[in-house]
Amino acid sequence: MAKSARASRIKKNNQALKKRVFDPVETARNERLSAKLLELAKAPKEKEQETEVEKEAEGTAEPTDTKDEKMDVDENGKPRRSNREIKRQHQVRAARIVKTHKKPRNQRHFPTHGSKKKGSKR
């Protein structure tokens, strides 16, 4: 009797288990995480960030040619496809048979057997 998850005996055992087993693990994890955060907060900030800001302030006065410079986005993007490859893909798509009328699966109709009759059952 009283073996359900709502039984007070089960609830007490679960609470004791949480306090004994899982609580020390959780506190140890919290201590490790807080130590990491404190270490990161106390670490000296890099001077590179300051120099970048100074360079940007100085660099606004200098005009730059946008035609000569390549963007990072262009280099890291997808490889460009040739016209031949694009035409071939269009031909494949055009040759593909497209079925326009297809019944949904949830509306399949199975024919009834010939010996069975629909109607009154008197």
- The residue among 5, 52, 88, 121 whose CA lies nearest residue 13 is 5
In a domain, 114, yes or no: no
Range of the domain at 32: 7-42
pLDDT: which is higher, 11 or 105: 11
The pTM of the full predicted model, rounded to 2 decimals, is 0.32
Percentage above 90 pLDDT, the chain: 37
Q: Give kind and range of the element (H or E) at residue 91.
A: helix 83-95
Instruction: Determine contact, residues 49/55, Cβ cutoff 8 Å.
Output: no
Structural domain count, the chain: 1
pLDDT bucket at 17, cuts 50 / 70 / 90: very high
Looking at residue 75, its pLDDT comes to: 60
Residue 98 counted as domain residue: no
Would you state the structure tokens that stand for residue 69, as one six-digit string?
């410079």
- Is the Cβ–Cβ distance between 4 and 10 less than 8 Å? yes
Write the pLDDT tens digit of every residue in 43-97: 887 776 666 667 776 665 555 555 666 666 556 667 788 999 999 999 998 888 7
Give the integer Cα–Cα distance in Å for 27 and 29. 5
Inside any domain, residue 15: yes
16 falls within a domain:
yes
Residue 82 and residue 80: Cα distance in Å, rounded? 7
The amino acid present at 116, given as its one-letter code, is: K
Q: Considering the domain boundaries, does residue 25 fall inside one?
A: yes
Distance CA 90, CA 81 (A): 13
Which region among 16-30, 49-63, 76-90, 103-117 has the lowest average model confidence (pLDDT)?
49-63
Mean pLDDT of 17-35: 94
